[in-house]
Chains A and B, each alone.
Chain A
Amino acid sequence: MSVETVEGSAAPTPKRGVSILFGLTLLGLLLALWLALGLATNAFWTPNNISNLLRQGAMTAILAVGQTFVIITAGIDLSVGAVVGFTSVIVAWLLAAGVPLWLAVVATLLIGVLIGVFHAFGIVRMGLPPFIITLATLTSLRGIGLLITNGSTISITNEAFTNFSRADFLGIPSLFWMVIVVAIPAYVFLHLSRFGRYLFAVGSNREAARLSGVNVDRTIYLAYILSSTCAAFVGLLLASRIGIGNATQAEGWELQAIASSVIGGTSLFGAVGSVHGPLLGAFILATINNGANLLNVNSFWQRIITGLLIIVIVYFDQLRRRGSR
């Protein structure tokens, strides 16, 4: 039975307008948080704390952008936290083996690409649900990393590498610059190129996309490769920041990334999402953690607050969407 929907009278608000509006609301929330924290504690608006906040948020933000590509195709990548830990081990291991820095970085990123290829292969060729294949890599990669390090950590002695995360450029932490380095091409890719459109189409209706000539398999490969590569990149940043390679690092970061993405307006059902949304989402989460630390809120409470916040934001987002239909 065809649904007799009425056009015109109840038409939804134009999509792009909504996403800009939502972006502004999130930006408003972020600024409100900053203002409130500035009033509540003197320690917030100090250069030291701000650059600390930017560093904290940067890594989640990059993971969230990669995650968003996957979620838009109506998939999920649970492995990103494990990939971060694993690639921190890889780069530390390569540097310890005397591999030149540039080669170690390129090789680590390539490993990220390969992990993405493996995920997409499992989904496209073996027909596994994304949840399952990435859950499997989550646990396996931690295992492989622990095998390589024999359960311990590998220290990184390359100073050029470890100094990078502490450096500033134009007074802004280099880690935050990396967000910009990722976000600009990501924006061009998702919102301005045809491949971005294909991600949305595949997430909305895979069969319709296929019959319209979209190479669905390649699109899925692309999404998972981008997600894993972003994770490998974050692995490099993390290794640089803490100066070691350790397979158990970044525990639970996949959930942080998914939460940032969802707070940023991405729909877990696919076909809805942006690049700026998850970035704001990641910094909102970072601000809450940062503020809670400054206000001496028990870190257990931080987790509870984060959970409540996800419910509230996504609930209001859905209300708004329904209201606009």
Chain B
Amino acid sequence: MTRGALRAATGLDATAGGEEQAVAALHSEEGNMTGLHEISHRRDTELKTAVPKGEPILELRGLQKNYGAVQALKPASITFLSGEIHAIVGENGAGKSTLIKLLTGVIPRTAGEVRWCGEPVRLASPNEAIARGINAVHQEVVLCPHLSVAANMFLGDEMKRNGLMRKRAMTGAAQGVLDDLGFNLPADATLGTLTIGQQQLVATARAAMRGTRFLIFDEPTAYLTRQESTQLFRLIRRLQNEGVTIVYISHRLEEVFELADRVSVLRDGTHVGTRLIGETNEAELIALMINRTIEQIYHKEHFPFGETIVETRGLTGPGFSDVSLSVRSGEIVGLYGLIGAGRSEFALGLYGRHPISAGEVYWQGKKVEIGNERNAMALGIALAPESRRDQGLCLNLPIGLNINLPVFRKLTRGLTINRAEEAANADRQIRDLQIKTPSRRVLASAMSGGNQQKIVIGKWLSHGAKLFIFDEPTVGVDVGTKAEIYRLFARLLEQGAGIILISSYLPEVYELADRLHVFRQGRLVASHDYRAASHEEVLAQAINA
């Protein structure tokens, strides 16, 4: 191989140190790191049509997706260059998932063109995308938890001899790949016994083995520890060196700056720009992503604090220990931490869902034993839980029933429910919260994320409470609804309620909370007054960096 070819192969990246890198990359391809691509014994010939590094490998031209009247993705034209790490950022609901689904053939496009290696392609099915070498690693691992790591890595592509699986050969090969990647994972372990992060790595290795040339990561670090993230990043860079084009979807900008070569921004279904990573900064990206200043979204009103509504002293239960905090009327208390830091567990403990093993709860100055959810509700605690799908809503029941579920007792006259009041209450919440539905009888499952969240909130507004616990209230909610939810907080505070706001999204708790508590590994590790600490400080406390 000549130097010229090397230059061509490395393309844009041939800066001062580029040549050595490229040599190393090529060396690794030929030398000890043979692993990934050679394992795959089902490589389609079309996969081998190489696109030189830096040339367009996948081009979107006016790609568009409508759901009925709603434009989930407005005509977007993005070019992905061979061998680059291309980050895509945007708020929840900006169209990122729609874009992935289009590229992986899960949903059909409404209009536009996709060119793969210069040829127009249909991407009509996931199989077509995979056959062309386009693959995705999802945030939530979609593998079989009961099978072994090796079986998962070869799933659908098993090594066979005379129709029988060559189990030992597969385990050996899988182990080879894992070792080669430095993953320190046994290939014969059952997948379900691994952490989510390890499963994510397995999913990535699986995609890498299949002759993937275009790999999409969809918020892969959402559930990973810092160490696991580091491992994943190393793997991603290595895949890049082997010539794989990476699309990295995230809303963690620091990761984008660490990894990506270029970044594209989506906002409300529109592609608003693509930047070289060296030519942009965090402020510009945020401005592109939300098109309004932070102050405009996090409309913070300060209310005078009243009496203490609730106080916990050394509260301990499953997943959290020794948590002492208090909430006053008119106050938002923010709980920040990574997923699994014990914030939701604390909320469920306070709400009586999980048993308390030590510590006390004082409600308006009096010691109380909450014990179960109904006692919590009777005191005046409302909980909008973390997962709308699993904890918040009865999805296959009507909106009206969901809204009224906490208040059926109040709606009962004698033996039966007063149907007029039942309807009136549901309609009132639908109107007040501007839930976009033709009728209270529509099933909750037919609603978008933002409207589902409003249904959950509507439940608790009709019940009424002194203390509202909102656990990740804006996940999967569009920007407009977010602003509505924050305005609602102000309304509740004005009426004298207190709020516990749990969020993994730092700007949200940072800008809204009058007092911010940081959780790490089940413990409350730091507390700050409104804007008293910097983002960096709070983040460092949450991850113990």
B441, A208: Cβ atoms closer than 8 Å: no
- Contact: B416 with A6, CB < 8 Å? no
Residues of A within 8 A of B406 (CB): 212-213
Scoring B69, B139, B397, B448 by chain A CB atoms within 10 A of each residue's CB, the highest score goes to B397
Contact, CB under 8 Å: B397 / A271: yes
Chain A residues with CB below 8 A from B68, complex form? 6, 8-10
Contacts of A271 in B (CB 8 A): 394, 396-397
Chain A residues with Cβ under 8 A from B140's Cβ?
A: 1
B97 touches A4 (CB 8 A): yes
- Chain B residue with Cβ nearest A18: B441
Tell me what chain A mostly uses at the interface: helix, strand, loop, or mixed. Answer: loop
A211 interface residue per 8 A CB criterion:
yes
Q: Is B401 within 8 A of A200, CB to CB? A: yes
- Kindly specify which of A100-108, A160-168, A190-198, A223-231 makes contact with the partner chain: A190-198
B377-402, CB < 8 A from A: 377, 383, 385, 390-398, 401
Q: What is the minimal beta-carbon distance from A189 to any residue of chain B, in angstroms?
A: 9
Across the interface, B446 reaches (CB within 8 A) one of A12, A207, A209, A210, namely A12
* CB nearest neighbor in B for A12: B443
B394 and A4 within 8 A (CB): no
Q: B476's contact among A2, A12, A201, A212, by CB below 8 Å, is which? A: A2
CA distance A13 to B43 in the complex (A): 48
How far apart are the CA atoms of A148 and B439 in the complex, in Å?
57
A-B contact pairs, 27 of them (CB 8 A): A2-B475, A3-B449, A4-B93, A4-B98, A4-B448, A5-B445, A6-B68, A7-B436, A7-B442, A8-B437, A10-B68, A11-B438, A12-B443, A14-B442, A15-B398, A17-B441, A192-B417, A194-B408, A194-B412, A204-B395, A204-B396, A204-B397, A208-B385, A211-B373, A211-B385, A211-B392, A212-B406
A1 touches B139 (CB 8 A): yes
> Quick check: is B218 within 8 A (CB to CB) of the other chain?
yes
Q: Does B351 contact A (CB under 8 A)?
A: yes
Q: Which of A1, A5, A204 contacts B218 (CB 8 A)?
A: A1
Residues from chain A with a CB closer than 8 A to the CB of B390 are: 205, 207-208
Cα distance A5–B446 in the bound complex, in angstroms: 6
**Range of interface residues on B (Cβ < 8 Å):** 35 or more
A215 at the interface (CB under 8 A from B): yes
Chain A residues within 8 Å of B391, by CB = 205, 207-208, 211
The answer to whether A192 and B72 touch across the interface, beta carbons within 8 angstroms, is no
A72, B352: Cα distance in complex, Å: 26
B118-137 contacts to A, CB under 8 A, are none
> What residues of chain A lie closer than 8 Å to B451, measured between beta carbons?
7
A8 vs B451: C-alpha distance when bound (angstroms): 12
Q: How far is the CA of A1 from the CA of B389 in the complex (A)?
A: 11
Chain B hits for A209, CB < 8 A: 394, 405
* Given A1-B140, A193-B416, A214-B405: A205 touches B395 (CB 8 Å cut-off): yes
A272 within 8 A of B: yes
Closest 4 CB pairs of A and B: A9-B68, A14-B441, A204-B394, A2-B476
Q: Which residue of A lies closest to B444 (CB)?
A: A204
In the complex, whether A136 has a CB less than 8 A from a CB of chain B is no
- List, in ascending order, chain A residues with CB within 8 A of B397's CB: 15, 200-201, 204, 271
| Distance, CA A87 to CA B451, complexed state (A) | 51
Among B93, B446, B447, B451, the most chain A Cβ lie within 10 Å of the Cβ of B446
Nearest-CB residue, chain B, relative to A3: B449
A217–B463 alpha-carbon span in the complex (Å): 22
Chain B 56-89 interface 0/1 with A at a Cβ cutoff of 8 Å (1 = within): 0000000000011110100000000000000000
Contacts from A to B (Cβ < 8 Å): 1-12, 14-17, 188, 192-194, 197-198, 200-201, 204-205, 207-215, 271-272, 325
For B393, list chain A residues within 8 Å (CB). 205, 208
Contact of A197 among B70, B373, B395, B408 (CB under 8 A): B408
B92 at the interface (CB under 8 A from A): yes
Shortest distance in angstroms between A40's beta carbon and chain B's nearest beta carbon?
41
Task: Please provide the chain B residues from 37 to 71 with a CB less than 8 Å away from any CB of chain A in the complex.
Answer: 67-70
- Cβ contact within 8 Å between A9 and B69: yes
B415 within 8 A of A: yes
Question: Is there a chain A Cβ closer than 8 Å to B409's Cβ?
Answer: yes
Knowing A205-B393, A207-B391, the reply to whether A4 touches B373 (Cβ < 8 A) is no
In the complex, whether B109 has a CB less than 8 A from a CB of chain A is: no
Residue B343 interfacial (CB < 8 Å): no
User: Taking A4-B93, A11-B438 as contacts, is the C-beta distance between A194 and B394 under 8 angstroms?
Assistant: no
Q: Which residues of chain B (169-219) have a CB below 8 Å from chain A?
A: 218
**Is the CB of B487 closer than 8 A to any CB of chain A?**
no
Q: For residue A325, which residues in chain B have a CB less than 8 angstroms away from its CB?
A: 446
State A1–B100 Cα separation when bound (angstroms). Answer: 11
What residue of chain A has the Cβ atom nearest to residue B477's Cβ?
Answer: A2
State whether A213 touches B439 (Cβ < 8 A).
no
Chain B hits for A17, CB < 8 A:
441
Q: Decide: B446 and A11 in contact? CB cutoff 8 A.
A: yes
Interface digits, B428-471 against A, CB 8 Å rule (1 contact, 0 not)?
Answer: 00000000111101110111110100000001000100000000
> Are B442's CB and A11's CB within 8 A?
yes
Of A17, A201, A210, A212, the most chain B CB neighbours within 10 A belong to A212
Q: Specify which chain B residues have a CB less than 8 angstroms from the CB of A5 in the assembled complex.
A: 67, 445-448
Q: In the complex, what residues of B have CB within 8 A of residue A12's CB? A: 442-443, 446
Known: A2-B476, A6-B448, A272-B396. A193 touches B443 (CB 8 A): no
Distance from A197 Cβ to chain B, minimum over Cβ atoms (Å): 6
Bound-state CA distance A2–B474 (Å) is 12
**Given known contacts A7-B446, A197-B408, A271-B397, is B439 in contact with A14 (CB within 8 Å)?**
yes
Is there a chain A Cβ closer than 8 Å to B138's Cβ?
yes
B535 within 8 A of A: no
A325 to B67: give the CA distance in the assembly, Å.
14
B398 lies within 8 A of A194 (CB): no
Distance in angstroms between the alpha carbons of A7 and B436 in the assembled complex: 7
A86 to B409, CA, bound (A): 37
Give the docked Cα–Cα distance between A197 and B412 (Å): 12
**A322 → chain B closest CB, angstroms:** 13
Instruction: Tell me the smallest distance from the CB of B268 to a CB of chain A, in Å.
Output: 12
- A201-B405, A207-B390 known; A6 vs B443 contact (CB < 8 Å): no
- Knowing A1-B138, A12-B446, A200-B397, say if A211 contacts B383 (CB, 8 Å): yes
Residues of B within 8 A of A193 (CB): 412, 415-417
